[in-house]
Structure 1
Amino acid sequence: MSIKETITDSLVYPFSNGLRFLFLGILILISFSPYVVSYVVKLDYWIVICLNVVGLLMVGSLVLGYLFKVISESLDGVNELPVFNNWIQMFINGLKLFIVNITYLIPVLLIASFVFPCLSDLSLGALARSDIFFSILLLIALFYLVWIILVILMSVANMAYNGGELFSAFYFDEMFSNVSVNRYKSPSWIFFVDLITIIMGILMFDVLVDRTINVDVGKIIVWYFATGAISLIFIVTGYVIVDMASIFILSMLDFYSILNYNILRVLMFSLALIPYLSIFISRSTALIYNSTIKSSLINQNSIEYYHLQKDL
């Protein structure tokens, strides 16, 4: 499957079952409920902590578990959103995804925990003198974050391919040792031309993309930046649409206030934008894993089996 086919399929896939899409949105809304409640009612600190544990950890784990199920079933060739069942297993898989994400993000969390308290404690003069140092740290964290997201996506897909085994999310040798790292034979600017054509979806360039990239790490990288660019477009566009729609609806109903505005935005984001992007990225990750890493693993296993039979 080409990159353009992968992305096109993933853009349509969230609409394969409207009821399941809506139910995922409701789960996401429940996970964000502590923030909605904090807007409405002044609660005790410990009550807010408990709500966050229930909302983000418990319900959030179910959301992550369902997205993991999307990846697993997409790897098996299923073209419809999964059924909501086997809730305990979904919750366990969601916790595994929490562990994978936190493990890979430890360097960013450490830098953030060091930089931001220091920035708040420094005076203006000391802050100016330390500006370069903190800027370098933040750039390192940003660079690491950009690339580690790709690693996390492939790791989660590899975990789904291995039946949900947690440690398979850290099997780098298994994921990448059999994937060829073919370099571009064309000038480096061709990379950016390919990336733009994928995003724009121009059919005449589809063959060119597959010929220059091949099924290798290069294809995964181009897919990653193309998917990221499309997601960013959806986020910016969705934010503007939700913002304008919230103001318009509340103004029409003569019900406008900052509180109602924030609540309506959370509703729209939770029920539409966030589930769509989450499903899109999960589906796209599974399909690119299928066409690159999984196919390489299957080919390698076939070769090993052939040699084993030959030796016997």
Structure 2
Amino acid sequence: MILDIYKDAFEYSAKDWKTLILLGLMCLLSFLLVPAFLIAGYNYRVINNAVHGIINGNDPLPEFDELIEMFIDGVKVFIIQVVYLIVPAIIFIVFVTIAGALSGILASAVMIIGSLITFIMGIIACLMAQMAISHMAYNECAFSKAFALGEIKKVIDEIGWLKCIMTYAGLIIITVLIYSAITAIIWIIFTIFGISGAILGVNAGGIFIFGALINSLVTMFIVGPYLSIFNARSLGLLYTMQI
């Protein structure tokens, strides 16, 4: 079932390349903050489509319109993610404070334990946050439903904690692998060009700079937006796996 989710999301994310370019432009301008919230709002629309759809259905990509509404949805998503990360953040701060009062091996041991607990709690918090966003979308975008912890836990219980964690971990691995593979391919190509250019007496530095520019453009305008939609679609479909 997890593989079915990934397969659907891979195909769904490539339905409209113009949307990927548009999201890439928003990413380029994200330092202005408003575009960053628009990206989050668009991904929320992807989740909203997924929680009301089915795996391997014929759902179209959401339209990039009604920007005020999209911006508001993006702000809601940001708030939800921050709230759910408060607990692991507090846990980490507590361990840092305790370690700061100690010294030597004991302080290091406390930090290692604290980092491990924070990591585990962080994974759980991120999963809860994503399911909370999906739960909000499923319940007619009611913001309060994102914090209905009992309902969200019940959803995860019905899907299965192991399945949720495996799906979420798989998304992280797939994202890292695709980013790494695309970057490696581009650098291999331009390394070959650079070496060939150096042999022919061409300035290899300029070739490598051009390669870095190409890598940034491909990552920002194609790979990044594609994986953003892929992750949102996958998490939305995971929510529909309730018994």
The answer to whether TM tops 0.5 is yes
1:99 maps onto 2:79 in alignment: yes
**Counterpart of 2:24?**
25
State the shift of 1:4 in Å: 2.0
Aligned residue identity for 1:14: S
Q: Which has the larger radius of gyration?
A: 1
Aligned residues: 233
Relative to structure 1, is the Cα distance of residues 107 and 179 closer, same or farther in structure 2, using a 3 angstrom cutoff? closer
Q: Whole-Å Cα distance in 2 between the matches of residues 257 and 244 of structure 1? A: 12
Q: Whole-Å Cα distance in 1 between the matches of residues 22 and 221 of structure 2? A: 8
* Most deviating of 215-224 and 58-67: 215-224
Pairwise mapping of residues 1-12 of structure 1 onto structure 2 (< 5 A)?
2-12=1-11
1:279 maps onto 2:223 in alignment: no
Q: Whole-Å Cα distance in 2 between the matches of residues 242 and 166 of structure 1? A: 42
State the shift of 1:165 in Å: 2.0
State the shift of 1:283 in Å: 0.5
Pairwise mapping of residues 1-312 of structure 1 onto structure 2 (< 5 A)?
2-31=1-30, 52=31, 54=32, 57-77=33-53, 79-110=59-90, 126=103, 130-177=107-154, 216-244=160-188, 254=203, 256=206, 263-292=213-242
Q: Whole-Å Cα distance in 2 between the matches of residues 167 and 67 of structure 1? A: 19
TM-score by length of 1: 0.63
Determine if contact 1:246/1:265 at 8 Å carries over to the other structure: no
Determine if contact 1:10/1:281 at 8 Å carries over to the other structure: yes
State the shift of 1:243 in Å: 4.2
Q: Whole-Å Cα distance in 1 between the matches of residues 181 and 98 of structure 2? A: 35
Aligned residue identity for 1:160: A
Relative to structure 1, is the Cα distance of residues 282 and 259 closer, same or farther in structure 2, using a 3 angstrom cutoff? same
State the shift of 1:83 in Å: 1.0
SS in structure 1 at match of 2:69: helix
Relative to structure 1, is the Cα distance of residues 168 and 247 closer, same or farther in structure 2, using a 3 angstrom cutoff? farther
Aligned residue identity for 2:46: V
Query: Cα deviation per residue 1:93-123 (whole Å; 9 max; x = unaligned)?
Result: 101111011111113334566778999x99x
State the shift of 1:178 in Å: 6.2
Structure 2 gap ranges (5+): none
State the shift of 1:176 in Å: 3.6
SS in structure 1 at match of 2:128: helix
TM-score by length of 2: 0.79
State the shift of 1:241 in Å: 3.2
Query: Cα deviation per residue 1:175-194 (whole Å; 9 max; x = unaligned)?
Result: 3436665xxxxxxxxxxxxx
SS in structure 2 at match of 1:177: helix
Q: Whole-Å Cα distance in 2 between the matches of residues 69 and 249 of structure 1? A: 42
SS in structure 1 at match of 2:241: helix
Q: Whole-Å Cα distance in 1 between the matches of residues 215 and 35 of structure 2? A: 20
State the shift of 1:14 in Å: 1.1
Aligned residue identity for 1:69: R
Q: Whole-Å Cα distance in 1 between the matches of residues 28 and 214 of structure 2? A: 11
Q: Whole-Å Cα distance in 2 between the matches of residues 247 and 24 of structure 1? A: 29
Task: Give the % identical residues.
Answer: 24
Q: Whole-Å Cα distance in 2 between the matches of residues 151 and 234 of structure 1? A: 25
Query: Cα deviation per residue 1:170-220 (whole Å; 9 max; x = unaligned)?
Result: 112223436665xxxxxxxxxxxxxxxxxxxxxxxxxxxxxxxxx544433
Relative to structure 1, is the Cα distance of residues 261 and 176 closer, same or farther in structure 2, using a 3 angstrom cutoff? same
Query: Cα deviation per residue 1:251-279 (whole Å; 9 max; x = unaligned)?
Result: 86945388766655433321122212111
Determine if contact 1:16/1:79 at 8 Å carries over to the other structure: no
